[in-house]
Amino acid sequence: MKPKVKTYIQTFIFLAIGIFLIFWFVNKLSPAERAEIWQYFREANPLWLLVAMIIGVFSHIFRALRWNLLIESVATKPNVKNTFWAVMVGYLVNYAVPRLGEITRCAVLGKKEKIPVDTVLGTMISERLFDMLCYVIIFVLAFIALTAKMIAFLDNYQTPSFISWNFALIVLLALIALVVAYKLWRRHNPTSKLGQKISASIHRFIDGGKSIINLKKKWLFILYSILIWVCYLLMTYIAFLTIDATYHLPLDAAFAVLALGTIGMLIIQGGIGVYPIIVSQVLLLYGIDKVGGYSLGWISWTIQTVIVLILGLIGFIMLTQKKNHEQVPNITE
pLDDT for position 64: 95
Specify if 37 maps to a domain.
no
Domain contains 189: yes
Within a domain: 280:
yes
| Within a domain: 138 | yes
What span, in angstroms and rounded, lies between the C-alpha atoms of 198 and 176?
15
186 inside domain: yes
Domain that holds residue 231: 44-321
Total count of residues recorded for the chain: 333
Question: Rounded to whole angstroms, how far apart are CA atoms 293 and 240?
Answer: 10
**pLDDT for 273:** 73
| pLDDT at res. 87 | 94
Q: Is residue 172 part of a domain?
A: yes
Buried b (16+ CB within 10 A) or exposed e, 99-111: bbbbbbbbbbbbe
Q: Which residue stretches of the chain have pLDDT < 50?
A: 158-168, 196, 200-201, 204-205, 207-209, 322-333
The number of folded domains in the chain is: 1
Region of 78 (left: φ > 0; alpha: ψ -120 to 50; beta: rest) is beta
Read off the pLDDT of residues 16-25 as tens digits, 9 standing for 90 and up: 655 655 565 5
Is 228 part of a structural domain of the chain? yes
- Tell me, what's the pLDDT at 118? 77
**What 3-state class would DSSP assign to 167?**
helix
pLDDT value at residue 125: 82
The pLDDT value recorded for residue 173 is 61
